[in-house]
Amino acid sequence: MYKGIGVSQGIAVNKAFVLRETQIGHYELEYAPADSVTEWRKLQQAMDESRREIKKIREQNKYLSADEMWIFDAHLTILDDPLIHNELKLLVEQQKKSALHAVREVINHFQQMFEKMEDEYMRERAQDLRDIGNRLTRNILGQKTEELPDDEPYILFASEISPSLMAQLDPQQVQAIVATHGNRTSHVSIIARALGIPYVVRVDERLEQTIRSGDVLAVDGNRGIVAHNPDDEERLQFEFLWQQFQTYKEKLSRLKNVSAETEDGYVIELLANISAIYELDVAVEQNAAGIGLYRSEYLFMERASAPDEEEQYAVYRKLLASLPGKPVTIRTIDIGGDKHAPCLPLPKEDNPFLGLRAIRFSLKHPLLLRIQLRAILRASAHGPLKLLMPMVSSLEEVIQFKRILTEVKDELRTAVVAFDEQIPLGVMVEVPAVALIMPELASEVDFFSIGTNDLAQYMLAADRMNEHVAHVYDPYHPAMIRLLAIVCKAAEEHGKPVSVCGEMASELLALPLWVALGVHELSMSASHLLQVKETVRSLRKQECRHIFEQLLACRTAEQNRNLLEEAKQIWKQRQQ
């Protein structure tokens, strides 16, 4: 048995097809470079061929929506990026490097830059660069992609599943996917979940050294376990797990059209977090109560120029149209920190997480903010939109933001453009200072949304991606629990609803906390919605309040977790 990380649920047992793709840099020793003119011509031809291949994949795909295929627009953008183009030309023409060497050096440089970023979405862009680099390498060498089987079902095994490879898979043929690299938040993982293909990543690399096409693999995407050439006993075990999983899926599917209501009648609305339009399909499938957080900054990333008002307006309208009549909360650009956009004037900073990011950036660039607000307001005429300000730390920021919002509303009225005059305005609770000025903020806004990731990071002064202080970052720290209590109590006293949109929103362990604090909405990755709903329906608000009173008396994060683990056993028994 090999352990990995299950990123798409499901069980499968079948023969493996092992894909060993060309890897950038592996063939340089065997490559005989010519003169710089010939090398540059080879590189240009490889780029032209890569563009043709990407367009062909996009045109011939039968299973992914146009929104899910947007990644290939990003790949074409990378190929046409002037910065990458100039770097390649410099290496080949001036430094006399081979086409292969230039591709390896430039792609590796940008790949490493992305891999160092904290934001998972941005780290995943390194995979896109590897995908482009491998495609260019293959085309420089004149190699063709290995053909995938089309005559019988199989389980795909590869070192890494690239977005372009994923787009070529037939979900009726591919029964599961196993890879030694990968991540839960990658485009590939999201698409695998959307297509219902079991997927296990980060499997022990020893499997890669022994597996051959035709070997049998048994894959458990729920637990992240893979068996290579399983014996009869292991096969029976996987068959039993498959039956169990089918029963569990049926049970969860029956919850799609019921409310997330505790046993004693407390209702929490469960909404979806969305970064890209293609994630909407899962939200619709799981019958999300709306979109609790649309991260609009991802519209600006990987682009040479910022999206104009019409493009933004079209996206915001699509969000509303996908979930008709349901609320959609759009957060204005939360750029900076570890999120970069070539099309935006972000300064180089020594400590960007404490620098010009989010609302600070928007207020410093009011023209960009006005364009976004116009698009959001225009879309608000077509459904229940909410507007959310990121990384607020002072009342002055809210007042300045509202002044610009009022001016944009005046412009639209003058132009006789329809919009929701009463569009709700909210504040992200990410900076601890907000907890201490809740009364002042409550008089200016309509709701609050707690971003637990950044709140815990700023509260504990610990970068959660820094391995040296990762042990310090703990959202169950007593100070964090007490701060959440202050925020929710102040919001309740001023009649303002509170939602949670950070990772803790989908953590089953934290659910009694949100029920006890009177949180109105939880927003999360859509794939978690039904499991969270199942747990909420087994809770009792009175019990949750009692648990919370005990949490306030705990002195360490470990004590808090242990208390919640004990409570978890009680509601798990009710689910059975």
How far apart (Å, rounded) are the C-alpha atoms in residues 500 and 502? Answer: 6
Domain containing residue 435: CATH number? 3.20.20.60
Higher pLDDT, 430 or 64: 430
* Alpha helices by DSSP H, 365-437: 366-379, 395-414
Catalytic-residue membership of 343: no
Distances from the Cα of 107 to the Cα of 25, 222, 237, angstroms: 10, 34, 44
What is the per-residue pLDDT across 220-276, written as a single tens digit (0 to 9) for each? Answer: 998 999 999 999 999 999 989 989 888 888 888 899 999 999 999 999 999 999 887
Q: Which residue of the set 187, 340, 477, 528 is catalytic? A: 187
- pLDDT category at 182 given cuts 50, 70, 90 is confident
Q: Is the confidence at residue 201, as pLDDT, over 80?
A: yes
Domain that holds residue 443: 260-575
Backbone angles phi, psi at 439, to 5 degrees: -60, -40
So what's the pLDDT on residue 338?
60
Catalytic-residue membership of 544: no
Other CB atoms within 10 Å distance of the CB of residue 407: 12
Of 99, 114, 141, the residue at which a domain comes to its end is 141
Query: Average pLDDT for residues 464-478, to the nearest whole number?
Result: 82
> Which uninterrupted H or E stretch holds 200?
strand 199-201
Q: Which residue of the set 477, 501, 528, 544 is catalytic? A: 501
Three-state secondary structure call for residue 357: coil
Higher pLDDT, 32 or 501: 501
Q: Judging by DSSP bridges, how do beta strands 2-3 and 225-228 pair with one another?
A: antiparallel
CA angle 38, 39, 43 (to 5 degrees): 115
What is the per-residue pLDDT across 209-223, written as a single tens digit (0 to 9) for each? Answer: 999 999 999 999 989
In a domain, 243, yes or no: no
In a domain, 502, yes or no: yes
- % residues pLDDT > 70 (the chain): 91
Domain containing residue 78: CATH number? 1.10.274.10
Residue 483 token pair = 């701060």
How far apart (Å, rounded) are the C-alpha atoms in residues 432 and 239? Answer: 50
- pLDDT category at 125 given cuts 50, 70, 90 is confident
What is the per-residue pLDDT across 375-385, written as a single tens digit (0 to 9) for each? Answer: 999 999 999 99
What is 9-47 written as a DSSP string? --EEEEEEEEE----TTTTGGG-----HHHHHHHHHHHH
In a domain, 421, yes or no: yes
Other CB atoms within 10 Å distance of the CB of residue 322: 18
Of 90, 116, 141, the residue at which a domain comes to its end is 141
Q: Are residues 121 and 268 in the same domain?
A: no
- The upper half-sphere exposure of residue 72, i.e. CA atoms within 13 Å in the direction of its Cβ, equals 24
In a domain, 255, yes or no: no
Q: Is the confidence at residue 458, as pLDDT, over 70?
A: yes
Instruction: Name the DSSP class of 338.
Output: T
Q: Are residues 536 and 391 in the same domain?
A: yes
CB–CB of 114/341 below 8 Å? no
Beta partners for residue 35, in sequence order: none
In a domain, 227, yes or no: no
Question: Chain centroid to CA 223: how far?
Answer: 21
Of 86, 109, 141, the residue at which a domain comes to its end is 141
In a domain, 247, yes or no: no
If one counts the domains in the chain, the total is: 2
Residue 338 token pair = 């570890």
Q: Is the confidence at residue 24, as pLDDT, over 70?
A: no
What is the per-residue pLDDT across 280-310, written as a single tens digit (0 to 9) for each? Answer: 888 998 999 999 999 998 888 766 678 899 9
Query: Average pLDDT for residues 540-550, to the nearest whole number?
Result: 95
Residue 216 token pair = 């049998």
What is the per-residue pLDDT across 354-407, written as a single tens digit (0 to 9) for each? Answer: 888 899 999 999 999 999 999 999 999 999 999 999 999 999 999 999 999 999
So what's the pLDDT on residue 4?
94
Backbone angles phi, psi at 454, to 5 degrees: -70, -35
CB–CB of 438/488 below 8 Å? no
Tokens 């590869």 correspond to: 158
In a domain, 218, yes or no: no
pTM above 0.85, yes or no: no
